Structure 1
Amino acid sequence: MTRKLGIAVIGLGPASLPHSKSLLDLADRAQVRFAVSRSAERAQAFAGQFPFPTTTDLDAVLADPSVEAVIVLTPPSSHLDVSARCLEAGKHVLVEKPLELTSERGQCLVDTARRTGKVFGVVLQHRFRPASLRLKAALDSGELGSVEAAFLQVPWWRPQAYYDEPGRGTLARDGGGVLLTQAIHSLDLFRSLVGVSRVVAAQALTTGLHRMETEDYVSALLETANGAPATLVTTTAAYPGYPERIEITGTKGFAALIGGRLRLAFLDGREEIVEAEGSTGSGANIMDFPHDAHRAVIADFLDAIEQQRDPVVTGEEALASQRLVDDILACARLGR
């Protein structure tokens, strides 16, 4: 970019940390004009960590022509209202996952983005990890052959204290449990790699390890885009938390993506490993992961604005992953 893009960060909860670190890294491309919170106390605490101007006045931010884009990090229940206001005010929008509480509200947000013509992206950063990009390239190029079977496991842990926070694990605030709130990153990546054409069977429940409204354990039998069998197991009851895992069996080789580390083993004897740095936020410390993937998401968002194109993860892509969550849970409710 020949100039810095003016950005506002809306919502200063835990999710603001990797985004703010990323924006510091991208200071040559973007300038944070405002960091916005409804809470003056939270804004003050944030100001002690990052050198960004803070405010509680969202109306003033949206009226400021120097703010060209916003990153919305508020709770899922507010994504439609906040993001739609920003889009209608002429701002490009990058919103945290999940898209919204329900697919219906998510569709309204996607429709608003298309109608206003602004760049609209969703933070599903697992697609941007180097190992994820290499695995997608191996699949797209045919290096692994055709997909014969696939497996997704998210064995994460959240203590009861996490769900004791107001709204955590509720339909009213989060829209769902482990699938929509934690496993959505891995599920979205999995869908982007192999596709999911059908949910064959599913089970969803709340284990005795948690007191919460929504599910903390989901398993499902799926079919990939080409009809191959796939298995999904996700939970936040696997103490102390382990890296998420994607395995893909192809006619020319096997891939194991564990956290951000990829191992490719080809039938001709070749092997390839893409190493990863840091944890994945699978345990009690939900922010225990590097921010490099978030930085890549924001960089792609900036590129999309500059190049007048869609970002990698569009609203439609995020909505497709959320509808898959709906399908799995609907199948589980039917008891098959």
Structure 2
Amino acid sequence: MLNVAIVGTGNISHNHIQGYLQFGQRCRIVALVDIYPDKAQEKKTRYGLTDARVYESHEQMLASEPHLDIVDVCTPPYVHAQISIDALNAGCHVLCEKPMAASLEECDAMIAAQQANGKTLSVIAQNRFTDAFWRLKAVIDSGLAGKICHAQVDSFWWRGHCYYDLWWRGTWEKEGGGCTLNHAVHHIDAIQWMLGFPTEVVAMMTNVAHDNAEVEDLSTAIFKYPNGALTQLTASVVHHGEDQKIIIQGDKARISAPWQAVACVSADNGFPQATQDTQREAQLNAVFQETPQLRWTLHTGQIHDLLQSIENGAAPLVDGQQGKRSLELITAIYKSAMTRAVVSLPIHRDDPFYRTGGTNALAPRFYEKSASVANFNEVGAIPLGKDLDRGI
């Protein structure tokens, strides 16, 4: 039985707590930590965690829980690294919410602590644990779509003006960025998982609807890959309807999440024929449909993956290196938007955007942070966007 501590008991902690409770024979929540202890106490009562002890700091918790196995970090991003490193040094495995850390320097420090202590470090990327993305990757890996030429990634979310009134949101120092970092991270992780790591990034960003936040609420980026392929990615919290999608264009077919397969056939003059390559479309549909559905999805799926990796001594699907790769792409987007230049990857240690505080020091303040609400009313588990599995 693995003992779990949840550090940070805001809205996202619902998704984590509910996930662990699915595996009552394998783990139990023994500690809840929050700088507002009443929030931790509320989760204890709501979920019937009668054996869980409440703490005001992760340091106090680590000193008081000698038999702890997993520390689950659900705090604002600016303290992810310190809590994770302290937990790893205390001999605990760590599951850390996205984004992994506030800088690539902190990512490397977390990875070094994981390697030094021989523990598991996993970073939340729950969209990998959806049937839509799981099956789409299987189809890409089949090669039936041909050479990948282009991807369109619409990370469309919508958040009301007051979203950025929460005390830590909307600042470069504490949130680390806007929609690119804290919303599109899911789709950025998914596309680099599916297509690999690009070599160049160019981007622009703006704030068009949230004049109570320093950070961007809209950005657009283009990734270029070694084979010449391009990905265009839009990150947003201004899109009503949150119509999220990934569309992959191969030289033989178009595939996407939500799922659709289209394979054109060329006429003698190069224009598409009225009839399509139905045989290839049938093959693509077969791979998609025959890829087994996941038993556990989203946060619960990733928690299952973490438990399985600990039990079997294997690496998790989303380890520290994978978490860093997503943040490196995000850092490249910010660097390009701020410097108005094409950014080459990887980002090196002597780059100011690599270092902790570097992006914060160089970032524009679109607006002054105009409100600082200590706590919002609970909404339960955070909605994670449109159901990407629709249309299966």
> Does structure 1 residue 312 correspond to structure 2 residue 311?
no
Q: Is the 8 A contact 1:22 1:292 kept in 2?
A: no
- Tell me which of 4, 8, 16 is aligned to 2:5: 8
Cα distance in 1 between the residues matched to 2:193 and 2:41: 39
> Does structure 1 residue 46 correspond to structure 2 residue 46?
no
Map of 1:262 onto structure 2: 259
> Does structure 1 residue 138 correspond to structure 2 residue 150?
no
State the TM-score, normalized to the length of structure 1: 0.88
Cα distance in 2 between the residues matched to 1:143 and 1:29: 39
Residue 197 to residue 59, structure 1, CA distance change in 2 (3 Å) = closer
> Does structure 1 residue 301 correspond to structure 2 residue 336?
no
Letter in 2 for 1:189: A
With 186-195 and 240-249 compared, the bigger mean Cα shift is at 240-249
Map of 1:325 onto structure 2: 330
Alpha-carbon distance, 1:59 to partner: 4.2
Q: Map residues 188-203 of structure 1 onto 2, 5 A cutoff.
A: 188-203=189-204
Map of 1:233 onto structure 2: 234
Alpha-carbon distance, 1:224 to partner: 3.2
Q: Is the 8 A contact 1:150 1:248 kept in 2?
A: yes
Q: Residue 46 of structure 2: SS of its match in structure 1?
A: coil
| Off by >4 Å, runs of 4+ in structure 1 | none
Q: Is the 8 A contact 2:13 2:74 kept in 1?
A: yes
Q: Residue 47 of structure 1: SS of its match in structure 2?
A: helix
Cα distance in 1 between the residues matched to 2:107 and 2:201: 25
Q: Is the 8 A contact 1:39 1:56 kept in 2?
A: no
Cα distance in 1 between the residues matched to 2:162 and 2:201: 34
Cα distance in 1 between the residues matched to 2:250 and 2:193: 16
> Does structure 1 residue 250 correspond to structure 2 residue 250?
yes
Q: Residue 259 of structure 2: SS of its match in structure 1?
A: strand
Q: Map residues 164-243 of structure 1 onto 2, 5 A cutoff.
A: 164-238=165-239, 240-243=240-243
Letter in 2 for 1:146: K
Q: Map residues 64-213 of structure 1 onto 2, 5 A cutoff.
A: 64-213=65-214
State the TM-score, normalized to the length of structure 2: 0.76
Bigger CA radius of gyration: 2
Map of 2:297 onto structure 1: 292
Alpha-carbon distance, 1:44 to partner: 2.1
Q: Which has a greater percent of strand?
A: 1
Q: Is the 8 A contact 1:220 1:233 kept in 2?
A: yes
Residue 60 to residue 175, structure 1, CA distance change in 2 (3 Å) = closer
Alpha-carbon distance, 1:97 to partner: 0.6
Letter in 2 for 1:310: A
Q: Is the 8 A contact 2:200 2:225 kept in 1?
A: no
Alpha-carbon distance, 1:131 to partner: 1.3
Q: Is the 8 A contact 1:194 1:225 kept in 2?
A: no
Map of 2:55 onto structure 1: 56
Q: Is the 8 A contact 2:94 2:120 kept in 1?
A: yes
Q: Is the 8 A contact 2:55 2:61 kept in 1?
A: no
- Tell me which of 4, 20, 25 is aligned to 1:23: 20
Q: Residue 8 of structure 1: SS of its match in structure 2?
A: strand
Cα distance in 2 between the residues matched to 1:111 and 1:141: 35
Alpha-carbon distance, 1:156 to partner: 1.2
Alpha-carbon distance, 1:112 to partner: 1.2
Cα distance in 1 between the residues matched to 2:302 and 2:191: 17
Cα distance in 2 between the residues matched to 1:87 and 1:131: 33
Cα distance in 2 between the residues matched to 1:35 and 1:193: 35
Alpha-carbon distance, 1:17 to partner: 0.5
Question: What fraction of aligned residue pairs are identical, expressed as a percent?
Answer: 29
**Structure 1: unaligned runs, 5 residues or longer:** 275-290
Q: Residue 164 of structure 2: SS of its match in structure 1?
A: helix
Residue 251 to residue 7, structure 1, CA distance change in 2 (3 Å) = same
Letter in 2 for 1:311: P
Letter in 1 for 2:101: E
**Structure 2: unaligned runs, 5 residues or longer:** 264-276, 290-295, 342-392
Q: Is the 8 A contact 1:99 1:318 kept in 2?
A: yes
Q: Residue 153 of structure 1: SS of its match in structure 2?
A: strand
Cα distance in 2 between the residues matched to 1:49 and 1:147: 48
> Does structure 1 residue 334 correspond to structure 2 residue 333?
no
Alpha-carbon distance, 1:255 to partner: 1.2
Q: Residue 48 of structure 1: SS of its match in structure 2?
A: helix
Cα distance in 1 between the residues matched to 2:53 and 2:243: 35
**How many residues get paired?**
313
Q: Deviations over 1:93-128 (max 9, x none)?
A: 111010111121222112111111110000111111
